[in-house]
Structure 1
């Protein structure tokens, strides 16, 4: 019984002694650029995975002559380096969408 009272008292002291973490809120500006719509399955996957972290404008600034290996390495880089929440199974569809919409396979 004494141990429980001591632990409860210790927890109460610790709770008052430690400053409470301040809750912060960040409001991002509206994104003026959206992903180019497509019937490709990778479009919805890119909306869910890519623009959750960065603007769709990022894709517009990539070289329009970029081939499939470039886009494949970019998607892998986002996942490995930046820890983007991309399922391995979704990567080929996202790459296909990106190369056909923003890369050297546009219009194919």
Structure 2
């Protein structure tokens, strides 16, 4: 296919045009993390809910054991690049296992 100079110039103009940014308004979160005196509570607030709603934790299996929560926290850091400090991870896992997992008080 032979391109005419005008067609090439027009195509380059379209490709070089600035793309307008979209303003997306998300609804406010209606679910908060379950409050706890555990140190991992504040660390989960600071780290976990910056990327997703606290609802995410509530929809995990309540029978999930500590290794499940440990794997989830490590996955968030390794796969999704969550900016969680290595030293904060055990306390976050402890909070999640005791608040949302199978270590919840009966």
**TM-score of the superposed pair, with normalisation by structure 1:** 0.77
Rounded Cα–Cα distance in structure 2 between residues aligned with 1:68 and 1:90:
15
Q: Deviations over 1:59-98 (max 9, x none)?
A: 0110001000000000000000000110000000000000
Rounded Cα–Cα distance in structure 1 between residues aligned with 2:82 and 2:99:
21
Rounded Cα–Cα distance in structure 1 between residues aligned with 2:46 and 2:19:
30
Displacement of 1:107 in angstroms is 1.4
Partner in structure 2 of residue 51 of structure 1: 49
Displacement of 1:25 in angstroms is 3.3
Rounded Cα–Cα distance in structure 2 between residues aligned with 1:93 and 1:24:
37
The answer for unaligned runs of 5 or more in structure 1 is 1-17
Alignment RMSD (CA, Å)? 1.5
Rounded Cα–Cα distance in structure 2 between residues aligned with 1:87 and 1:22:
35
SS in 1 for 2:64: coil
**TM-score of the superposed pair, with normalisation by structure 2:** 0.79
Displacement of 1:21 in angstroms is 6.1
The answer for unaligned runs of 5 or more in structure 2 is 1-15
